[in-house]
Structure 1
């Protein structure tokens, strides 16, 4: 049986889907949401507005030998419902992993947030072996949801 190639976590957050979406589509706020500790800051980015947008983040991690940048290619965008992107080392095409945030209103000021880290699109076996997916653990994704809840409260 093949190993699952994605991790999905959920949390109900006491904020409207609009307020949650406002935070998620602002790359300036991604460092405060990051439960993995890799995201340091955005690199002069604009708010995410559509599929096809690209935003750049300043990162740090032993898996890349320290400081590096990523280009994040927006793959999903539905106002107040969904935003997602595929990450790549800056200046390269995404090798196949994706971050997806799905928002489901549970009333006017409560939102069920589903956060998925999916590396099923990575086909480069050398990269799979090198990176050792999943690079981010389920507990770190849950921490990102807790940080999101704090950011919108």
Structure 2
């Protein structure tokens, strides 16, 4: 991997005071994602789209009113989920959002949030991709922690 490619993968990690299954349930339910989106990009997602495996597609509406289809490309219940977004009805644009959970003990979990745009092939999305920094990922982690730690 070249240095240029390395800058196209950003991540942030936070230890949360909640068990992995509790946190994963919130991440895997797209209807709950807008509440803890640190990019302030997600407006809503219909209920009933809880993700259960690779190959599923869930749909979200963004704050600019556009619709995103999100193809699930990695899934391990309670531990890892990743999806590739695309414009409605189009193939994925080549970027990926990933969540990885590592249970520390029965009440604490290390959560890593990664944004990977190393395969992005839609030039119109590059500027937005560059603006997705570890700080923005940390904002999502902090909002997620506030959500799951209050349960």
Confirm whether residue 5 of structure 1 aligns to residue 8 of structure 2. yes
> Is the contact made by 1:33 and 1:148 (CA closer than 8 Å) also made in structure 2?
yes
Alignment partner, residue 28 of structure 1: 31
SS state of the match for residue 67, structure 1? coil
> Is 1:19–2:15 an aligned residue pair?
no
Gaps of 5+ in 1: 61-65
1:16–1:111 Cα contact (<8 Å) kept: yes
Name structure 2 gaps, 5 residues minimum: none
- Alpha-carbon distance in structure 2 between the residues aligned to 1:83 and 1:58: 20
**Structure-1-length-normalised TM-score:** 0.89
Q: Distance in 2 between matches of 1:96 and 1:146?
A: 26
For the 8 Å contact 1:35–1:142, the answer to whether it is kept is yes
- 8 Å Cα contact 1:41-1:59 kept in structure 2: yes
Output the CA distance in 2 between the equivalents of 1:44 and 1:20.
Answer: 17
1:25 and 1:132 map into 2 onto residues whose CA distance is 24
| Separation (CA, whole Å) in 1 of partners of 2:12 and 2:26 | 18
CA RMSD of aligned residues (A): 1.5
Q: CA deviation at 1:84?
A: 0.8
Show the counterpart of 1:59: 62
Select between 36-45 and 77-86 the one with higher mean Cα deviation.
36-45
**TM-score w.r.t. length of structure 2:** 0.90
